[in-house]
Amino acid sequence: MTTNSATPPHDEMSGKIVEVAVRLSVLAVLLIWCFQILRPFAIPVIWAIVIAVAISPVHNKLVGWLHGRRALAATLISGVFLVLLMVPTVILTELLVKNIATLAQEIRSGQFTVPPVSETVKDWPLIGDYVAKFWHLATTNLDEALKLVQPQIKALGTWLVEIAAGTGMAIIMFVVAFVIAGVLLAHSTGGKKIAHSISRRLVGDRGDDFANLAQATIRSVARGVLGVAVIQALLAGIGFMVAGVPGAGIWALLCLISAVIQIGVGPIVIPAIIYVFATGDTLTAVLFLIWNSGVMVLDNVLKPLLMGRGVDVPMLVIFLGAIGGLLLSGIIGLFTGAIVLALGYKLFQAWLNMEPSPQVASDQ
């Protein structure tokens, strides 16, 4: 009499399933743990990758001029770009914080006053009479005027205070991102190989095409959208400061946000022009108008030069990415959100347009 000691097939299959499940669970826990550890560094690292990809062509030229010294070239270019961007950014940021603090203090103490309305305001077409009445009410009875727009002012004030409170951390993250970008540029050859290897593992034979598309999209959006927005906001802020517009830092911030979300700086700049014409001397007002007219049309000149060809992204994608990033991560998220969503859109679009493999096509 013999006994059958062979393991039944279903028991063997169950054992394998349990083993695979345990392995996957351990791997999932490890990945989640690693993500939690690295999550505080996610935004500056993403921003650093964007910066490195955007300025890598300039870095490559500098490497040629320095006879292949990549580390020196990376240090020089990241340092120069950091100074060029940080100096006006710090000035406008400091001004923004002071403007918000001063405005809040004056409103609390009742010292906030509105300059008297000019008689010429009534002669403005369409809106002149309404603006003059509201302005006169604000001059004589500020509390009553503020009641008319109290919900909007309250929401805007709360949001501006939150933005100003996070400005210091945003500047620190900005500096850290440039330092990381310099390291990435110094090792850009190895980084490019890793990016293409990961892309090939994920997509297969089309991996290199996807990696090149990601690079082109990041450069296009970083230069043509974010770069132009920063330039416009800085120039507009300089104009506000020189013309003596109250709260110049606040208006410069609003110009930056408006430009990134593709509305343009016009909705912020035009009221400032009207204000300068109503309260300032004619020469200052005319010069301010000329300056800001150039700022408003600047994007029409720079975008075709900086966006590149074949990587255009719908305005709605940039808008949603910028707003979502701003709500999620503050000022830095305004930039990274637009780029990440634009990148996801282009890669998803390319994936949809991929031709199916021969085996899949034959199965269909």
| Predicted confidence band of residue 362 (pLDDT cuts 50, 70, 90) | very low
Task: Give the tens place of pLDDT for each residue, 40-94.
Answer: 777 788 888 888 888 888 888 888 888 888 888 888 888 887 777 766 666 666 6
| Predicted confidence band of residue 338 (pLDDT cuts 50, 70, 90) | confident
The answer to whether 47 and 177 have CB atoms below 8 angstroms apart is yes
Helix (H) or strand (E) holding 53: helix 42-65
How large is the average pLDDT for residues 162-176?
A: 68
State how far Cα 74 lies from the chain centre.
23
Is the pLDDT at 152 greater than 60? The verdict is: no
- Other C-beta atoms within 10 Å of 272: how many? 22
Task: Give the tens place of pLDDT for each residue, 273-306.
Answer: 888 887 778 888 889 899 989 888 888 777 776 6
| Predicted confidence band of residue 119 (pLDDT cuts 50, 70, 90) | low
The answer to whether 252 and 92 have CB atoms below 8 angstroms apart is yes
Q: What is the mean pLDDT of the chain?
A: 74
User: How far apart (Å, rounded) are the C-alpha atoms in residues 15 and 106?
Assistant: 73
pTM (predicted TM-score): 0.64
- Other C-beta atoms within 10 Å of 139: how many? 14
- Give how far Cα 78 sits from Cα of 49, 175, 307, Å: 12, 10, 21
Report the pLDDT value the prediction gives residue 364, as an integer from 0 to 100.
Answer: 47
How large is the average pLDDT for residues 124-136?
A: 61
Report the pLDDT value the prediction gives residue 291, as an integer from 0 to 100.
Answer: 92
- The greatest distance separating any two alpha carbons of the chain, rounded to the nearest whole angstrom, comes to 117
Report the pLDDT value the prediction gives residue 130, as an integer from 0 to 100.
Answer: 59
How large is the average pLDDT for residues 119-141?
A: 60
Of all residues in the chain, what percent carry a pLDDT higher than 90?
1
Helices (H), 222-314: 228-243, 248-260, 266-279, 282-306
